[in-house]
Amino acid sequence: MIQVISFLMFVLLAIYAIMFVYFRRGWLSLNEVQTKKDYSPRTHISIIIPARNEEQNIGNLLNDLIAQIYPIELMQIIVVDDHSTDNTSQIIQQFKDVQYISLADIIGPEVLNAYKKKAIEIGIKQAKGTLIVTTDADCRVNPYWLLSLVQAYETSRKKLIAGPVAFQHSSNLFQIFQSIDFFTMQGITGALAFFNSGSMCNGANLVYTKSVFETVKGFKGIDKMASGDDMLLMHKIEQNYPRQTTYLKCKDSIVYTKGMNSILSFFQQRIRWASKSKQFKDKNLVLILSFVFVFNLMFILLGFLSYFDGLYLHILWVSFCTKVFVEFLLLLPVSRFFNKSKELIYFVPLQMIHIPYIVISAILSLFVTYQWKGRNVQ
């Protein structure tokens, strides 16, 4: 049996190594764009922000948006309040240049499974801009954020642009773990975009034209699932407009979001993210995700078998070192872009947590409902 396990692990390692070399090549080949600070944009944009119980964060984001180096006559800020029970709505309405919409006033007592999608959809209906920009209420952006996004759009005319997202300052090991996991996904997102595979993006920093959203009929067909306002929409656009989605590798475009404060909320978030994979129609992405799950599951199997035969421990150690090495090939340049290189000091020990986390979150996403923003979600 040990020969079979050894051969299987060798094959998996070879595929995994090739995959990460492929990702590294894609990330390094992706052109890093520099924002022209004197650029004169011509596109009218509408920023859509769905918000639910964000009294601690929404004010900071709106101040960031008002401070944007972008013509005020070409910018519209819309915040759709999703049934907040705190002071979110009061804070929003203090900003005279922000358009406030109450989701509760529009849909009434209707019960949904995808409130965020409905909030974005309603915001887009009120949008006057040619270009839709979405972000989350707990994010922060720098003054050149919108200028960098529009410059990329006006230069490329892509139908959808996925912007970079990173975690804010990581003050403890748990936050560093989340940060490394997150910028790993960002690196893969950028790499796949370079190879014209419009597969991954994040709704915290997403740009698409209003006309394209209407052409693909918005969230129709994916509106029953709570998550997926980003990737599932991207897949619809990619199907209708092949090779018309991209990733913007620009430091001015980075949106900074917050990590989770507890392990429970972290798993709730990751289960939410993983749950949308059930709706993925991109066979290559499904294949990659399935392979990563099996690959990490093999490490747990090897760990179990090591209790019975020391030879399995040797296979486990060699496999672990190989995994760390090939992942580091990608993470080194990605961490430099996001100014997160110091976090890689903890990369190796955190692998002990990351491997079971991948397996557990994938399994839970198939069978467990989760809670998000105080709601139980199917």
Q: How much is the pLDDT for 202?
A: 94
Which of 5-9, 94-98, 168-172, 300-304 is least confident? 168-172
pLDDT band with cut points at 50, 70 and 90 for residue 111 = low
* pLDDT (mean) for 255-281: 81
Which of 85-89, 95-99, 171-175, 265-269 is least confident? 265-269
* pLDDT (mean) for 26-39: 96
The rounded mean pLDDT for the chain is: 92
> Both ends of the chain: CA-CA distance in Å?
41
Question: Hey, what are 223's tokens?
Answer: 């509106």
Whether 378 has a pLDDT exceeding 60, the answer reads no
144: phi then psi, degrees, rounded to nearest 5: -100, 10
Helix axes 310-337, 283-305, angle to 10 degrees: 140
The identity of residue 92, as a single letter, is I
181: phi then psi, degrees, rounded to nearest 5: -60, -40
Q: How much is the pLDDT for 34?
A: 96
Helix axes 310-337, 2-29, angle to 10 degrees: 10
C-alpha torsion sign, points 182, 188, 193, 198: negative
Q: Where do we find the tokens 């970079």? A: 164
pLDDT band with cut points at 50, 70 and 90 for residue 225 = confident
Q: How much is the pLDDT for 310?
A: 85
Question: Hey, what are 146's tokens?
Answer: 């919108």
Q: List pLDDT tens digits, range 64-100.
A: 999 999 999 999 999 999 999 999 999 999 999 999 9
Q: How much is the pLDDT for 2?
A: 81
**Entry pTM:** 0.92
Q: How much is the pLDDT for 113?
A: 67
- Measured in residues, the chain has a length of 378
pLDDT band with cut points at 50, 70 and 90 for residue 298 = very high
Whether 194 has a pLDDT exceeding 90, the answer reads yes
* pLDDT (mean) for 230-245: 93
CATH 3.90.550.10 domain residues, the chain: 33-262
Whether 152 has a pLDDT exceeding 80, the answer reads yes
The topology under which CATH files domain 33-262 is Spore Coat Polysaccharide Biosynthesis Protein SpsA; Chain A (3.90.550)
The identity of residue 6, as a single letter, is S
Percent of the chain whose predicted confidence (pLDDT) is above 90: 75
Whether 17 has a pLDDT exceeding 60, the answer reads yes
Which of 68-82, 125-139, 182-196, 298-312 is least confident? 298-312
Residues 298 and 250 sit within 8 Å (Cβ to Cβ): no
The identity of residue 333, as a single letter, is P
- Interstrand relation of 98-102 and 75-81 (parallel, antiparallel or unpaired): parallel
Q: How much is the pLDDT for 351?
A: 93
Q: How much is the pLDDT for 137?
A: 97
Angle at 238 between CA 234 and CA 242, to 5 degrees: 160
pLDDT band with cut points at 50, 70 and 90 for residue 199 = confident
DSSP E strand boundaries for 7-139: 45-51, 75-81, 98-102, 131-134
* pLDDT (mean) for 239-254: 96
Whether 371 has a pLDDT exceeding 70, the answer reads no
DSSP annotation of 140: B
Q: How much is the pLDDT for 80?
A: 98
DSSP annotation of 32: P
Q: How much is the pLDDT for 365?
A: 78
DSSP annotation of 69: S
Specify burial of residue 283 (Cβ count, 10 A radius: 0-12, 13-18, 19+). Answer: exposed
pLDDT band with cut points at 50, 70 and 90 for residue 373 = low
What is the distance between the alpha carbons of residues 296 and 347, in angstroms, rounded to a whole number?
16
Residues 86 and 113 sit within 8 Å (Cβ to Cβ): no
The residues facing 370 across adjacent strands are: 377
* pLDDT (mean) for 348-375: 83
The residues facing 372 across adjacent strands are: 375
* pLDDT (mean) for 51-63: 96
Whether 155 has a pLDDT exceeding 60, the answer reads yes
What is the distance between the alpha carbons of residues 254 and 274, in angstroms, rounded to a whole number?
23
What is the distance between the alpha carbons of residues 200 and 186, in angstroms, rounded to a whole number?
9
Q: How much is the pLDDT for 326?
A: 97
pLDDT band with cut points at 50, 70 and 90 for residue 260 = confident
